[in-house]
Chain A
Amino acid sequence: KAGVTQTPRYLIKTRGQQVTLSCSPISGHRSVSWYQQTPGQGLQFLFEYFSETQRNKGNFPGRFSGRQFSNSRSEMNVSTLELGDSALYLCASRPGLAGDTQYFGPGTRLTVL
Chain B
Amino acid sequence: SQQGEEDPQALSIQEGENATMNCSYKTSINNLQWYRQNSGRGLVHLILIRSNEREKHSGRLRVTLDTSKKSSSLLITASRAADTASYFCATDASHGAQKLVFGQGTRLTINP
- A residues within 8 Å of B by Cβ? 4, 33, 35, 42-45, 48, 55-56, 58, 88, 90, 92, 97-99, 101-107, 109
Contact = CB atoms under 8 A, between A and B. Distances in A.
Judged by DSSP, the binding face of B is: strand
Contacts of B58: none
Contact of B42 (A33, A90, A98): A90
Contacts of A42: 2, 102-105
Judged by DSSP, the binding face of A is: strand
B100 interface: yes
B26 to A, nearest CB: 15
Contact of B99 (A48, A90, A101): A48
Interface stretch (B14-22, B33-41, B61-69, B71-79): B33-41
Given A42-B2, A48-B99, A98-B92, A107 B104 contact: no
A45 B99 contact: yes
Nearest to A56: B97
B98 A102 contact: no
Given A42-B104, A43-B88, A101-B48, A88 B98 contact: no
| A-B residue pairs, 3 tightest by C-beta | A43-B102, A104-B43, A106-B42
Contacts, number: 58
B44 interface: yes
B40 A88 contact: yes
A56 to B, nearest CB: 4
A33 B98 CA distance: 10
Interface string B82-112: 0000001010100001111111110000000
B104 A45 contact: no
A4 B45 CA distance: 12
A102 B41 contact: no
A99 B44 contact: no
Given A33-B100, A101-B48, A107 B42 contact: yes
6 contacts: A42-B104, A45-B97, A45-B101, A56-B99, A102-B33, A102-B45
Contacts of B103: 42
Given A45-B101, A48-B99, A102-B45, A109 B2 contact: no
